[in-house]
Copies of this chain bind each other. A is one copy, B any other.
Amino acid sequence: MAINQKEAIKYNHKHLLGIQYLSIPEVNLILDESLAFVELNRQENKKLKILNGKTQINLFFETSTRTLSSFELAGKRLGADVMNMNVLHSAIKKGETLIDTAMTLNAMHPDILVIRHQDSGAANLLSQKVNCAVINAGDGRNEHPTQALLDAMTIKMKKGKIEGLRVAICGDIMHSRVARSNIYLLNMLGAEVRVIGPSTLMPKNIDAFGVKVFTNMEQGLEDCDIIMMLRMQTERMDGSYIPSTREYYEFFGLDYKKIKNAKEDALIMHPGPMNRGIEIDTSLADDINRSIIVQQVEMGVAVRMACLKILMESKQ
């Protein structure tokens, strides 16, 4: 029945804290809603009134260019009043003060708080202290749900489906919330997920994630449809995790030679910003037959618009 069906695809949460809390229908709802916003963003007039009268606060404890911009534009294009909070990392004492900041902001009656924080669990903690909807824009090594959703949207737009695809996530799996959220989501949507990286950058409990683990790039990339490269954080490059960036590139940097192991029509993704010449060959990154990195950014704004809209609707 139509009514049941419509109820089935309701979003049943107050917040968007992680992919691990979402159901398949909820994910599909977000991806379906995103499509309209992809179209909107390509038009001359990109402005709606859906969030008129609403207040969105972007509370970023880590510097970010693209994620913050993406959320800011998403909110503004939906008509919300958007405020960015410049939180200097050094000025914040951890623990209680995040809560004090949360309580303060909450008293200003925002409707949506978008938070990025260096500590895993920060978004969950915040969500327990405020009345408004909280979106996790990345918390420590835990989750970055809108990144995984925009990645899924990008794959769907380019490949027409996700189910049955072989996806390799490559690089610093251990420290990556992008990897974690993508593993949850791609598994949920029926992809075959592989992770590839040096053993020093592989989480100890990786077996629990339901993925195939490779420490050899050529083997891992075999017959892959999608290759997701992760950003190598500069703070991991001091020798304790990898011998040198040159050696890392030699073994784990994606180049035209290694990509031959993947399918002929394999596509490359990267959450950005890229370290060209470290995790990815610079020509390959710009190869419009291979790289869908800019499409990820485009999908990012659309997916975040969908998330903002759905959270405001489910509130009512």
Contact = CB atoms under 8 A, between A and B. Distances in A.
Contacts of A54: 44-46
Contacts of A13: none
Interface stretch (A65-73, A198-206, A255-263): A65-73
Contacts of A103: 293-294, 297
Contacts of A101: 65
Contacts of A55: 46, 73, 76-77
Given A46-B55, A69-B85, A73-B83, A272 B63 contact: no
A47 B100 contact: no
A107 B295 CA distance: 7
Interface string A59-91: 000010110011011001100010101011001
A273 B100 contact: yes
Contacts of A282: 96
B298 A107 contact: yes
Contacts of A301: 108-109
B45 A108 contact: no
Given A96-B282, A100-B276, 4 more contacts: A44-B111, A100-B274, A107-B296, A109-B301
A149 B302 CA distance: 37
Contacts of A72: 83
Contact of A100 (B52, B83, B96, B272): B272
Interface of A: 41-42, 44-47, 52-55, 57, 63, 65-66, 69-70, 72-73, 76-77, 81, 83, 85, 87-88, 91, 96-97, 100-101, 103-109, 111, 272-274, 276, 282, 293-298, 300-301, 316
Contacts of A109: 41-42, 46, 298, 301
Contacts of A104: 65-66, 272-273, 294, 297
A4 to B, nearest CB: 28
A46 to B, nearest CB: 5
Contact of A87 (B65, B73, B298): B65
Contacts of A45: 52-54
